[in-house]
Structure 1
């Protein structure tokens, strides 16, 4: 119980620091750091949704960035079509991405293991090439947005307004929502299906239905990240759906700690920090980043969460350890 409380306190401290950043950084003339924090938070939102699949469901996806890109493009196209309210764009992005997740998930979840990984990669690349074919919306070059979404006519959700705080609140809601979901019966069934699918089926649970629901939820959360990325960058590009972006999200989840409470956020902050520090020293910073990941994999198999909380590894369900125990 003590380690859970400590991890919660650390996360509360991180959120407090993120909340204080837009007020403190301008005082020390370090406002450029705000853009790095926004990047980390947007990555963390998408990584939190992916961790629901990988960490809790054991569904390793290499096409998750497609949901981010689809959410961004759906919102951008809606904005170009005259829909300016960000709440309406949010509904549009979530519905389009959720529908894509429902269709592709229904097919991908009929496979498992490396076959699931490959089919999600295929669907991700399909989304990527579809976006590059949208000539009216920039094609390969992407789409620059000349007007931004508003909240009932106000600029609260725009750069220069309170967009940073909106992204922070969205991150907090995503973190809290996935944490609550993973600790509810739904999450326990997901982990039971990950650890012992045969026994979970025998107990009367439809693994396919639970996994598909998780897949759709993850896609919809990722779409929110895409919407906010569009709003912050004022630009969308097919590169958002590239498999390399999905690989970065997967690295973040593994680096932070699979299935842990704080892993996705820790991994996102670490990735952005390493990219900034190494990038300022060495242009080909990934040549140093690769060996660093190898060292992390060898000495911290539970990720950053394992380094900070040595006894706090990935969450497991008691239903997979004790015969006859209720999920």
Structure 2
């Protein structure tokens, strides 16, 4: 089975950076960031289409997004994106500060102090310094964000620091959050938005898979300036189409439960057909877990 190469159009508009012409969702993101002080921005686009660049480039190049907290569902994904954003920072020659925050990294920073300091105080100091510098990016997981706003870091100032010095929250792969996680976060956002004089007013949701349940709750319950890239038209002309995912050949093999490893090792001849410059991925999926609905 062959899955064809996926290409999406780029547009004759202001380059995102250097000579990189933007995709539609990148134009929508840039216009929203420049023109609005408050928004819920949903960017839905295939994997590999530069959704992270949509917000990271404006954050690293300017001050419109202020201090950004970028949330990823796992620490492994957060670390990977932290490294990618750091590489982007070098390409842009930006001086914005970027921090990767988990319970472990806060603990490692804690050990470097010669005096007693809490993880909450370290996080508070990090946010304050970024705010003084005109912006920065904290890459972390949803738990850190929730714990800070609910006062679990034993720091009486951290909640107000998050509300008053952080300007933007980015939710990547939000469709992977379970119902409890997403509802807790939406309740927190509602609490923030009904509080006057808070700086936290910009929210960006990134996903390759639309989540109509979440967007419905935001539009109908929380309210506000809702922008959906999938429902927004742009005026620029298409300049070309750029491939974002290569052609993929899929081969399905069945194996008895608990015997997949032995099945693969028994016959490795088919693997030899792959050339050295081709990527090979072996994905093990049980029949039960592959059933949707």
TM-score between the two structures when normalised by the length of structure 1: 0.26
- Structure with bigger helix share is 1
> Larger Cα Rg: Structure 1 or Structure 2?
2
TM-score between the two structures when normalised by the length of structure 2: 0.28
